[in-house]
Amino acid sequence: MSQGLPLRKDIPEQEKWDLSDLFVSDEAFYQTLNDVLETTEQFKDRYSGQLETVENVKAALPELSEILIQIDRLGNFAEMRYSVDTTDEAGQKLSAKLSTSYGKIASRLAFVESEILALSDDQLDQLIAETPYPHYLKKLKKRKPHQLSYEVEKTLAALSPTFSAAYDMYGITKMLDIHFEAFEVDEQQYPLDYATFENEYEDNPNTEFRRKSFRFFSDALRKYQNTTAAIYNAHVQQEKIEADLRGYDSVIDYLLEEQEVTREMYDRQIDVIMSELAPIMQRYATLLKEVHGLEKMKFEDLKVSIDPSYEPEISVEDSKQYIFNALKVLGDDYLQMVQDAYEDRWIDFAQNKGKETGAYCASPFASHSFVFISWTGKMNETFVLAHELGHAGHFNLAQSHQNFLESEASMYFVEAPSTMNEMLMSNYLFETSDDPKFKRWVIGSIISRTYYHNMVTHLLEATYQREVYRLVDQGESLTASTLNEITRKVYQDFFGDAVEISDGAELTWMRQPHYYMGLYSYTYSAGLTIGTVMSQRIKNEGKPAVEDWLNTLKAGGSMSPVDLAKTAGIDITTDAPLRETISYIGSLVDELEVLTKEIEQENN
């Protein structure tokens, strides 16, 4: 039987990130948490009931920022400490301690926004004109009609840890409770868990192996579907209650407010992709079926590479030259950040038991970014790393040019810098070889990794999520069978007759933590739309386009997503960038079909 993954303690230091830039020890974390609890109490004593003048607000906001930076530092450390080894009791305890303390901290600070919003519009306008926080205050002013009384806001803030309880329970069920049976292929036993399935088995070139691992994976998920549905239902019902309390017409309107995005922009992203990208991806699925000689193209076959025999292996060390060469167009300062990430151990490359799946970039304002990834040695992962370093580049530039309250861009925009880097990686790889097999591998990687992941997987999640909130707005409660039905229909609508939606595909909703993060899923396709158009601008125009892009990144959260895109020379108030992106994906599938014919003719 295969051995499975090593324990965290057995991983070499060089493969793990160094969190000492945030906290040198757990003890230092707990000390800072106690300091923050004390500081917030003092801040409340000093300013509560005093923010009725512009001058007092001007004095309070810099102090508030310093407190928020420390909270951000604590939150990032707790999340990172836990996610690399969910089985570690000290990490669990640390995360739980922050969660319970956060309610106290948030309730003590709730008066600030309540009192600022009690000011007259003239006073608010004066603050917007005279402080370094204009965009933060404009967003706050826009929320004024939905602000509740201070006592209610304080109570909601005190309850905030319970609002994240569903997400925590989902993670515990997913990473600690679900038991996966090992499966056998060709008389060999293979261990199964979330990490091995999503990182290694899902795209395995052996059809029997791939389908069997999917079946065993789905069988394990199915046993927990009712618990997971109850957890998710609790989360969305809580969002519905708050949306109603604040006077929003729907949960979607409530969740979009913070993103500064209109309902029209949100719906357009989903509807245009569902209707216009679907036929292109059906062609791609059919091509995969033909190349692999499959009798039927099934849901669990969609992640397989166009040419698994040509998947180059790559070490962490060798990935540097690809990353550096792809991103050097962004300039020396950007490249220095990438070098620091490698050399100063900002990146957690390890694969170990208990490590959460996926990849992310945490960017605490107090230090620098940290990248979470599980390196399996597939060349494909250079795209994943370029993606996460895109977040790092964005936040490091934004944080060095904006104050804390103006540093974080809207969720609608946040995936643009990361997906743009994936496009720069593909642009670079295209230039390195004319070999048809290599070119086909590059295009296959862009479609399967960049576009399938961001504009299909996450977009179908968004379509599912929109239907969930439609039911919740109608007063419905969600059960596992309802969620399964919605998921299956979304996949069938998108893939039509080109893909058989196997038993187990309907459980895909159980795999995604994004559903506990507001309307996050659709923003991947929104970001990739901006990223695609921008990467084409850089390819065609060079330095002026790069300057526009770096200025956009530096703006951080000081502008709305519409204005950020405008700074980059892109108008997202129309559907033109989205249709341009879909057209580009269509041209990639065209080229994939041509290259496949060319390779087949050479082989015959």
d(CA 349, CA 13): 10
Residue 97 confidence (pLDDT): 95
Residue 370 confidence (pLDDT): 98
d(CA 336, CA 324): 10
Q: H helices of 165-206, where? A: 165-172, 194-196
d(CA 331, CA 328): 6
Residue range(s) of every CATH 1.10.1370.20 domain in the chain: 177-309+410-603
Residue 3 confidence (pLDDT): 56
Q: What is the dihedral of CA 219, 223, 224, 225, to 10 degrees?
A: 80
Residue 1 confidence (pLDDT): 32
Q: Which tokens hold the place of 38? A: 């004390």
Residue 171 confidence (pLDDT): 87
Residue range(s) of every CATH 1.20.140.70 domain in the chain: 8-147
Residue 194 confidence (pLDDT): 87
Residue 139 confidence (pLDDT): 95
d(CA 551, CA 357): 33
d(CA 132, CA 64): 13
Sequence-separated (6 or more) residues with CB below 8 Å from residue 92: 82, 86
Residue 164 confidence (pLDDT): 84
In CATH terms, the fold of domain 8-147 is Butyryl-CoA Dehydrogenase, subunit A; domain 3 (1.20.140)
CATH number of 177-309+410-603: 1.10.1370.20
Sequence-separated (6 or more) residues with CB below 8 Å from residue 399: 363, 365, 407, 556
d(CA 424, CA 426): 5
Question: Helix or strand or coil: residue 190?
Answer: strand
d(CA 196, CA 198): 6
Residue spans of the chain under pLDDT 70 = 1-3
Question: Each residue of 227-261: b (16+ CB within 10 Å) or e?
Answer: bbbbbbbebbbbbbebbeebebebbbbbbbbebbb
